[in-house]
Homo-oligomer: A and B are copies of this chain.
Protein backbone atom coordinates (compact mmCIF):
# COMPACT_ATOMS: atom_id res chain seq x y z
CA UNK A 1 0.00 0.00 0.00
CA UNK A 2 2.82 2.34 0.86
CA UNK A 3 5.05 1.97 -2.15
CA UNK A 4 6.71 5.33 -1.71
CA UNK A 5 9.86 4.90 0.32
CA UNK A 6 11.16 7.74 2.38
CA UNK A 7 14.64 8.59 1.26
CA UNK A 8 17.43 9.18 3.70
CA UNK A 9 17.98 12.93 3.38
CA UNK A 10 21.70 12.28 3.75
CA UNK A 11 21.55 10.42 0.46
CA UNK A 12 20.37 13.41 -1.50
CA UNK A 13 22.53 14.86 -4.21
CA UNK A 14 23.77 18.41 -3.88
CA UNK A 15 20.99 19.94 -5.94
CA UNK A 16 18.32 17.84 -4.32
CA UNK A 17 19.57 18.85 -0.88
CA UNK A 18 19.54 22.52 -1.82
CA UNK A 19 16.00 22.36 -3.14
CA UNK A 20 14.79 20.38 -0.14
CA UNK A 21 16.45 22.84 2.18
CA UNK A 22 14.82 25.80 0.44
CA UNK A 23 11.42 24.13 0.81
CA UNK A 24 12.04 23.16 4.42
CA UNK A 25 13.09 26.67 5.35
CA UNK A 26 10.02 28.19 3.73
CA UNK A 27 6.97 28.39 5.93
CA UNK A 28 4.72 27.47 3.05
CA UNK A 29 4.63 26.24 -0.52
CA UNK A 30 7.02 27.62 -3.12
CA UNK A 31 6.77 27.61 -6.89
CA UNK A 32 9.60 26.12 -8.88
CA UNK A 33 10.70 29.57 -9.96
CA UNK A 34 10.61 30.89 -6.42
CA UNK A 35 12.92 28.04 -5.48
CA UNK A 36 15.16 28.92 -8.39
CA UNK A 37 15.42 32.49 -7.17
CA UNK A 38 16.22 31.28 -3.65
CA UNK A 39 19.06 29.20 -5.01
CA UNK A 40 20.68 31.55 -7.49
CA UNK A 41 23.24 32.34 -4.83
CA UNK A 42 24.08 28.66 -4.74
CA UNK A 43 24.77 28.51 -8.43
CA UNK A 44 21.35 27.61 -9.75
CA UNK A 45 20.73 29.15 -13.15
CA UNK A 46 17.97 27.23 -14.91
CA UNK A 47 14.50 25.96 -14.01
CA UNK A 48 15.45 22.47 -15.03
CA UNK A 49 17.82 22.21 -12.11
CA UNK A 50 14.87 22.78 -9.82
CA UNK A 51 12.43 20.56 -11.65
CA UNK A 52 14.85 17.66 -11.79
CA UNK A 53 15.50 17.85 -8.07
CA UNK A 54 11.79 18.17 -7.32
CA UNK A 55 11.04 15.08 -9.35
CA UNK A 56 13.38 12.99 -7.23
CA UNK A 57 12.24 14.53 -3.97
CA UNK A 58 8.62 13.79 -4.82
CA UNK A 59 9.50 10.23 -5.79
CA UNK A 60 11.24 9.87 -2.46
CA UNK A 61 8.29 11.19 -0.52
CA UNK A 62 10.06 14.24 0.86
CA UNK A 63 8.10 16.79 -1.12
CA UNK A 64 4.53 17.14 -2.32
CA UNK A 65 3.25 18.94 -5.35
CA UNK A 66 0.14 21.05 -4.83
CA UNK A 67 -1.72 20.78 -8.10
CA UNK A 68 -4.10 23.62 -7.50
CA UNK A 69 -1.22 26.03 -6.77
CA UNK A 70 1.45 24.78 -9.16
CA UNK A 71 3.67 24.81 -6.11
CA UNK A 72 5.67 22.47 -3.92
CA UNK A 73 5.89 21.91 -0.21
CA UNK A 74 8.19 19.90 2.05
CA UNK A 75 6.47 17.00 3.75
CA UNK A 76 6.13 17.58 7.47
CA UNK A 77 5.12 14.04 8.22
CA UNK A 78 7.28 11.55 10.05
CA UNK A 79 9.07 9.02 7.94
CA UNK A 80 6.80 6.33 6.62
CA UNK A 81 3.58 8.20 5.93
CA UNK A 82 1.69 7.28 2.81
CA UNK A 83 2.40 10.12 0.52
CA UNK A 84 0.17 9.26 -2.33
CA UNK A 85 -2.76 9.51 0.09
CA UNK A 86 -1.95 12.84 1.70
CA UNK A 87 -4.40 15.72 1.68
CA UNK A 88 -3.97 19.46 2.05
CA UNK A 89 -6.01 22.33 3.38
CA UNK A 90 -5.03 25.52 1.61
CA UNK A 91 -6.01 28.91 3.01
CA UNK A 92 -7.01 31.26 0.23
CA UNK A 93 -6.43 34.28 2.44
CA UNK A 94 -2.93 33.74 3.84
CA UNK A 95 -1.61 30.90 1.69
CA UNK A 96 -1.04 28.64 4.66
CA UNK A 97 -1.07 24.94 3.83
CA UNK A 98 -1.77 22.18 6.29
CA UNK A 99 -1.08 18.57 5.43
CA UNK A 100 -3.28 15.86 6.88
CA UNK A 101 -4.13 12.22 6.35
CA UNK A 102 -7.85 11.62 5.96
CA UNK A 103 -7.51 7.85 6.08
CA UNK A 104 -11.22 7.14 6.29
CA UNK A 105 -12.05 9.37 3.35
CA UNK A 106 -9.21 7.85 1.36
CA UNK A 107 -10.51 4.38 2.14
CA UNK A 108 -13.87 5.36 0.72
CA UNK A 109 -12.21 6.69 -2.42
CA UNK A 110 -10.25 3.46 -2.72
CA UNK A 111 -13.52 1.55 -2.33
CA UNK A 112 -15.09 3.60 -5.07
CA UNK A 113 -12.14 2.87 -7.35
CA UNK A 114 -12.25 -0.84 -6.60
CA UNK A 115 -15.96 -1.06 -7.27
CA UNK A 116 -15.49 0.79 -10.53
CA UNK A 117 -12.59 -1.39 -11.64
CA UNK A 118 -10.28 1.62 -11.59
CA UNK A 119 -6.71 0.85 -10.57
CA UNK A 120 -5.86 3.72 -8.26
CA UNK A 121 -2.26 4.93 -8.25
CA UNK A 122 -2.52 8.16 -6.32
CA UNK A 123 -4.96 10.82 -5.28
CA UNK A 124 -4.98 14.59 -5.27
CA UNK A 125 -7.05 15.97 -2.40
CA UNK A 126 -6.82 19.70 -1.85
CA UNK A 127 -9.28 21.64 0.29
CA UNK A 128 -9.68 25.33 -0.37
CA UNK A 129 -11.07 27.81 2.10
CA UNK A 130 -9.99 29.85 5.08
CA UNK A 131 -7.83 28.76 7.96
CA UNK A 132 -8.78 29.30 11.62
CA UNK A 133 -6.28 32.12 12.03
CA UNK A 134 -7.72 34.11 9.14
CA UNK A 135 -11.27 33.50 10.31
CA UNK A 136 -10.38 34.86 13.74
CA UNK A 137 -9.30 38.26 12.45
From residue 67 to 122 of chain A, which have CB atoms closer than 8 A to chain B? Answer: 67-68, 87, 89, 91-92, 98, 100, 102, 104-106, 108-109, 112-113, 116-122
Query: What's the Cα separation between A129 and B125 when bound, in Å?
Result: 15
User: Is A124 a contact partner of B132 (Cβ separation < 8 A)?
Assistant: no
Contact across chains for B121 and A92 when beta carbons are under 8 A apart: yes
Q: How far is the CB of A64 from chain B (nearest CB, A)?
A: 13
Chain B residue, CB-CB nearest to A87: B109
Most buried by B among A98, A116, A118: A118
Q: Judge whether B116 and A89 touch: CB under 8 Å.
A: yes
- CB atoms of B105 and A109 under 8 A apart: yes
B113 and A127 contact, CB distance less than 8 A: yes
Pairwise interchain contact B119-A129, C-beta atoms closer than 8 A: yes
* B residues near A130, Cβ cutoff 8 Å: 118-119, 121
Decide yes or no: A102 and B112 within 8 Å by CB, A125-B124, A127-B118 being known contacts. Answer: yes
Question: Once the chains bind, are A98 and B123 in contact (CB under 8 Å)?
Answer: no
**Is the CB–CB distance between B128 and A124 below 8 Å?**
yes
A102 surroundings in chain B (CB, below 8 A): 108-109, 112
Question: Residue A126 at the B interface, CB < 8 A?
Answer: yes
- Can you list 9 A-B contacts (CB < 8 A)? A67-B67, A98-B116, A98-B118, A105-B106, A118-B130, A118-B131, A119-B130, A121-B130, A124-B126
